[in-house]
Amino acid sequence: MGEYSIKKLMSIFAVALALVIVAVVATTRPASATTRYIAQSAGTFSGGTACNGQTAMTAATFNRITNSPGDLDYICGTITGSAGAQLLTPKGNGAAGNPVTIKFDTGAILQAPYFAPSPNGGCGGAICLFGLSYYTIDGQNTGTIQNTANGSSLPHQKSSEGIEGSKCTNCTVENLMIANIYVHSSPSDTAVDGTAVRCMSISGSDWLIKNNTMHDAGWCLFNNYSDGDGNVVIAGNTIYNIDHGWMLASQVSGGSSGPFLFHNNTVYGYANWDTNNDTYHHDGIHCFTSQTKGLPAHITLLAIYDNSFKGPIGRNVTGHIFIEGGRGSGATPCADTTSGIAVYNNIAVGDQADPDGLFGLFSGNYTPAHGGGVYNNTFISTAGTEGGVCFSANSDVSGMTFENNALSGCNQLIETDSIPFSPDYNRYASGGNNAFVCHKNFYSASQLSSWRSCIAGDSHSTYSSSLAFNGSYQPKSESRLINAGTNLTSLCTGSLSSLCSDYAGKPRPTSGAWTVGAWSTAGSALKHRQVESDQ
């Protein structure tokens, strides 16, 4: 895909994201800044690039040093810890424009049989940023954090994490591989708490997690936010072989947190976490408010856009996106009735039946008045007549605008409860006997008119036997999606600014009809764009 600039994000939140950009794009280092080299053994280091020929210190020595703004700490070669190790615990903070930077030299690795967990905060993992500020971890596209012996058929079955970042503010993790935190490979393996085998734990404000590859973990990105946390951007990452991709959760009701942005990520592969007794339910994104007796948090904005969610999804899946709802003492809903949630330009594919919906949106507000809506997504099941549910929402949602979406191959294409629901200009295909579910009324694929009457909308939507996708779920030239949508240019401000470009970053027309779904044009697929900062 084409380039994506953080300047575009600044058009959404110019003041808030300026803090992130300052942290990422450091200008000149202070004259007092120090460069250090950290290796398995002290002395002259041989290998790598920046580290070659430099005098290195051990991790234990580094952990006794206090960093200052602008300091640069290189990880050199392979540093191996013992089972349950916590390797790097940096001290001292950076400053705006001069973060402390931890760089992985060419091919550098931090590894252990398994790293220490930190399920309640504190220091665990290969690198611990707990309570720090203005830090950047840069893998430079060759650096790796990995466990070497933690998994179903491996010597250890332990809680573990790669990076501990709770209560870290103005922190960035980029261009890094985090691998094999727990390699789950057996349906009989229920030995670990899936929530406690994490790629990263984060909380605090002004976080940027971009262009990383993370795989084989339970709850990969564990974002347990506090009241007031915000400006969290997760972009350009590839996340796979996981039970959960991104957990967004809080233990406070009400308050005010956000924005949280999740975009340009590729998330796939939950099936290896299937178990015989459904011990681990799988989600690409799972948002909830825990331990609040049905009282949700207030989120200023949650925006999920330009992402690809794919299989194998497994038989224990809940959804690619699960925005939890519900009321009462046992419920843990994600968001209150005025929390704006925007979901657009996503591709969601299911290769097995998903009974809860590829996207299950069960709380929050999805209307333009709150910066939200569900627009130009592509939902596809390849599971045949057992294709489960493409899209589902229920009565805990306080309002939803649902336009220009393509839904194909699910037994239930769309399922809604008694919510203020405004659908139109959608394209449906290849549905089953219960293709449309409205207020607990079930309508077959041939009963689109009955669905329209029940839902009091969708007057410009159509149903067909096929939407004619290519292998990348882009419409073919003959597809009924081409120029079948409404023009939403008027919505492309604030949280929806990126809606005026498609999944590939190609601008949509400012006048005339739009193409339905995540792609704006027919033809050969483009590479999904990497997120880049302006230098």
pLDDT of residue 16: 41
Mean pLDDT, the chain, as a whole number?
91
pLDDT of residue 295: 86
Rounded-to-integer distance, Cα 513 and Cα 516, Å? 9
Tens digits of residue pLDDT in 417-435 = 889 999 999 999 999 889 9
pLDDT of residue 478: 93
pTM over 0.85: yes
Residue 41, pLDDT > 90, answer: yes
Query: Residue 403 pairs with which residues in a beta bridge?
Result: 375, 424
Residue 276, pLDDT > 70, answer: yes
Residue 534, pLDDT > 60, answer: no
pLDDT of residue 64: 98
Q: Which amino acid is at 8?
A: K
Encode 379-414: b = buried (16+ Cβ within 10 Å), e = exposed: bbbebeeebbbbbbbbebbbbbbbbbbbbbbbbbbb
Residue 496, pLDDT > 70, answer: yes
Tens digits of residue pLDDT in 467-478 = 999 999 999 999
Q: What is the mean pLDDT of residues 98-118?
A: 97
Tens digits of residue pLDDT in 329-379 = 788 999 999 999 999 999 999 999 898 999 999 999 999 999 999 999 999
Q: What is the mean pLDDT of residues 37-59?
A: 98
CA nearest 187: which of 283, 293, 270?
270
Indicate the range of 55-69, 118-132, 352-366, 508-522 predicted with least confidence. 118-132
Whether omega before 355 lies within 30 degrees of 0, making that bond cis, reads: no
| Share of residues in the chain with pLDDT > 90 (%) | 84
Confidence band (pLDDT; 50, 70, 90) for 31?
confident
DSSP structure class, residue 58: -
Tens digits of residue pLDDT in 215-266 = 999 999 999 999 999 999 999 999 999 999 999 999 888 999 999 999 999 9
**How far from each other are the two terminal CA atoms of the chain, in whole angstroms?**
19
Distances in whole angstroms, Cα of residue 442 to Cα of each of 265, 326, 382, 499? 34, 22, 22, 32
pLDDT of residue 531: 57
pLDDT of residue 411: 93
pLDDT of residue 21: 40
Residue 291, pLDDT > 50, answer: yes
Which sign does the torsion angle of CA 354, 380, 488, 500 carry? positive
Query: Residue 436 pairs with which residues in a beta bridge?
Result: 414, 443
Structure tokens at 155: 């010597």
- Quote the strand ranges of 226-306, DSSP E: 232-235, 238-250, 254-257, 260-263, 266-268, 282-289, 297-299, 302-305
